[in-house]
Amino acid sequence: MSESFGLRLWNAVEAHGPLCVGIDPHSSLLDAWGLSDDAAGAERFGRTVVEALAGRVPVVKPQSAFFERFGSAGVLALERTIADARAAGLLVVTDVKRGDIGTTAAAYAHAYLDPASPLCSDALTVSPYLGFGSLQPFLDAAEAHGGGVFVLALTSNPEGPQVQHARTPDGRTVAGTMLAAVAAHNAGQSPQGSVGVVIGATIGDTAEDLAVNGPLLVPGLGAQGGGADDLRRLFGPVARYVLPSMSREILGAGPDLGRLAEAASRAGDLYATVLR
């Protein structure tokens, strides 16, 4: 692509607000929508979300696990959801949290960032806890294809601090080391770099430097306990980079297209006010 993911995302947020909506066809939602709990139901779910939200939000985030549970047919449903979303003008961050080394990492990067792959997305989530250097194949693929990478940094799950708050020999936390590495990678890029981080809305206070000159993907809002006050407290000076992510609060309004669109617009307006 001629434009970087960082620039495409910046422009999309300017046009449609900051909200990212998850596409999570788990069993309870499929049932609530009157859909079968299988690959066909997941595909219909994904395509309905895309139809309702195109032009209303900048980004959707399919959670790969809820498609993969149906095997090869589920992966095909994910492929079609990604393709539909990108064709509709939505940016797609596929939530796969991949992390490995060497040629295996390169293969994952090819799967989600190379235009030759049917799973090609605008960006993907990755785990850096084999060391930030293990992410180099993802960073290289993102640069080659105009894609993006979101690095897990400070997550909302209660087990996260066991690793993320641990101190390295230089006195920094593991999370701080990852944030600094992302900031170094994005240095000098305008309006922002294409490597972002994932920071949960429910992490509480943090002394970490969140200024990475890249997008800050923030799950944990709504049903998971986070809200507007958490965004104000955590991200004040870097609020412009925040991409709040919601799933159940939006998806629960389906399958009616109008109600889905209304729920997304309402949340988008709220967070646009909070973050701008």
Percentage of the chain modeled with pLDDT above 90 = 90
pLDDT single digits (tens) 170-212: 999 999 999 999 999 999 999 999 999 999 998 888 999 999 9
Please report which confidence band the pLDDT of residue 103 belongs to, taking 50, 70 and 90 as the band edges: very high
User: Given the structure tokens 């900051």, which residue do they identify?
Assistant: 18
d(CA 247, CA 176): 28
243: domain CATH number? 3.20.20.70
257: left (phi over 0), alpha (psi -120 to 50) or beta: alpha
Query: How large is the average pLDDT for residues 27-38?
Result: 98
Q: Respond yes or no: is residue 61 known to be catalytic.
A: no
Query: How large is the average pLDDT for residues 251-258?
Result: 97
Taking residue 109's Cβ as centre, other Cβ atoms within 10 Å add up to 27
pLDDT single digits (tens) 211-249: 999 999 999 887 677 888 889 889 999 999 999 999 999
- Which pLDDT score, from 0 to 100, does residue 112 have? 98
- Which pLDDT score, from 0 to 100, does residue 1 have? 65
d(CA 76, CA 40): 10
- Which pLDDT score, from 0 to 100, does residue 79 have? 98
- Which pLDDT score, from 0 to 100, does residue 272 have? 93
- Which pLDDT score, from 0 to 100, does residue 222 have? 76
The two structure tokens encoding residue 208: 């970490």
The residue segments making up the domain with residue 182 are 5-275
- Torsion angle defined by CA atoms of residues 56, 59, 64 and 65, in that order, rounded to the nearest 10 degrees: -70
Q: Check 26, 80, 86, 97 and give the catalytic one.
A: 97
**More confident: 229 or 259:** 259
Q: Environment class of residue 144 by beta-carbon count within 10 Å: exposed (0-12), middle (13-18) or buried (19+)?
A: exposed
pLDDT single digits (tens) 129-159: 999 999 999 999 999 999 999 999 999 888 9
Neighbouring C-alpha atoms within 13 Å toward the C-beta of 113: 29
pLDDT single digits (tens) 51-81: 999 999 999 999 999 999 999 999 999 999 9
d(CA 35, CA 248): 16
The two structure tokens encoding residue 118: 């049917």
Question: What total of structural domains would you count in the chain?
Answer: 1
Neighbouring C-alpha atoms within 13 Å toward the C-beta of 246: 28
Q: What is the pTM of this model?
A: 0.96
d(CA 120, CA 138): 13
- Which pLDDT score, from 0 to 100, does residue 230 have? 86
Backbone angles phi, psi at 24, to 5 degrees: -125, 85
Residue 266: partners with Cβ closer than 8 Å, 6 or more residues away? none
